[in-house]
Each structure stands twice: as C-alpha cells, then as structure tokens.
Amino acid sequence: MIAKVLSSAVLGVDAYLVEVEVDIALGFPQFATVGLPEGAVKESKERVRAAIKNCGYDFPQRRITVNLAPADIRKEGSAFDLPISLGILAATGVIDHEKLCDYIILGELSLDGNIKSIKGALPSSICARDSKLKGIILPKENAEEAAVVDGVEVLAADSLQDLVEFFAGKREIIPTEIDINSIFTQAKEYQLDFHEVKGQEHVKRALEVAASGGHNLLTL
C-alpha cells in the first residue's frame, strides 16, 4: 500500500512543499529512502523504527520505500522523521492517510517517540498558507513561531502517539494562537542603552541612523 504525507524543506529563506511517499511491499525486509536525502535524512530510518516500536505499534517487516518529491532537490535535516513515521503507519492501516494531506508535518523523533524541535517553522508555515492547506503540525517548541502567520492552523504535539490518536479522532489538539501586537510591544523593550558605551561616537551615530530609517546595518 502507498501513503502520502505532506512536509516541507527550506531552500534559502523560503520553504517548498515536499511529498513524502511511503510504499510497503512484500519482499525481504528493507528500508530505502530516495529523493536526494542528505545524511541526517538517511539516518531517519533508525529513529523512525525505534520510535514506532517504542510507542507500541508494529513496524512492518517488509520492503519499505520512502520517496521525497521533488526528487531533484537535496533534502536536509531531521524534520522528515515525523512525516515518514506517519506515512508508514498510514500505509499499514493504523491511521487514515487521507487526513494527512490537510497539513504540512514536520518533526524530529527521539527513540521513545517524543517530538523534538526543528528549523524553518516560519517559512514552512508560510508555505502551508500559500499552498492552501488547512494548517501545519510541528513540535511544541516551534508552535509560536509558526503561529505568526495568519490563516494557518498550527497544531503542536509532544509525541508520535499523540498524533496517531489525533488522526484517529481519539485526541483533540487545540490550535496555537498568539497575540502579534503583544510580541511587537515586547520586542521594543531593550535592557541595553548606548549611554553605557563609552566612546565609539561614530558607531553609535550610525546605529541611530539605521534604526530611525529602518535600515539593515549591512547597508551602512
């Protein structure tokens, strides 16, 4: 059986959609990942196998092929652990694979099935919005960063088991919401003051000009 899970990868400062396709077939037990996976992505099979078993689910002793499409762009990082795991569980009938296509899913798995933080939450959330998806599923540590984007449902999870129960309708995950105005207000408060810097008048003046004009320091 074939299952498809949506994820994303960052290229430069933007994220693009990645289709994680999982095929489980008869044959000698094997786990192959294709689609230009980088080292951390190749190693995900060991984390995925341990996480699925330690969460109490059966890991299929069959030939497993994972394809990361588009296959002509190199995939980096450990954020594909979670979508690959959910794809395997969907292909074996543990969860409904059709519900998976509503979200971009990202997360690194520990061996006990807990979900660790990832990089690129903000551009991935923008990618979910631009792709007209319902939302994004990612670790709790990255939830507030992703929630900055309007029009995207951000679901944060602690473990693989939480998400299996969520897709089975046995658990509710409340979307993460933040007050953007409050964040900007807090960002305006600084503990440092130029009065504490002795000398460096030209540097301080340059920083003041950049701040007042909203310019990046690299343009000076």
Same domain, 115 and 208: no
Same domain, 114 and 63: yes
Same domain, 204 and 100: no
Residue 48 in domain: yes
Residue 185 in domain: no
H runs (alpha helix) in the chain: 39-42, 44-54, 81-91, 121-130, 143-146, 160-167, 180-187, 201-213
Residue 212 in domain: yes
Give the pLDDT of residue 210: 84
What's the mean pLDDT in 172-189? 82
> Other C-beta atoms within 10 Å of 195: how many?
7
Alpha-carbon distance 88 to 127, whole Å? 24
Same domain, 132 and 199: no
Same domain, 104 and 167: yes
Alpha-carbon distance 198 to 14, whole Å? 40
What's the mean pLDDT in 10-36? 95
Q: Is the pLDDT of residue 30 over 60?
A: yes
Pairwise pLDDT comparison (217 vs 58), residue with the higher score:
58
What does DSSP say about strands 153-157 and 14-25: parallel, antiparallel, or unpaired?
unpaired
Cβ atoms of residues 129 and 69 within 8 Å = no
> Average pLDDT, whole number, for the chain?
91
Q: Is the pLDDT of residue 77 over 80?
A: yes
Domains in the chain: how many in total?
2
Residue 183 in domain: no
Same domain, 88 and 147: yes
Q: What global pTM score does this model have? A: 0.84
Give the pLDDT of residue 127: 97
Same domain, 135 and 200: no
Alpha-carbon distance 159 to 144, whole Å? 18
Same domain, 33 and 138: yes
Domain range enclosing 209: 190-219
Same domain, 113 and 41: yes
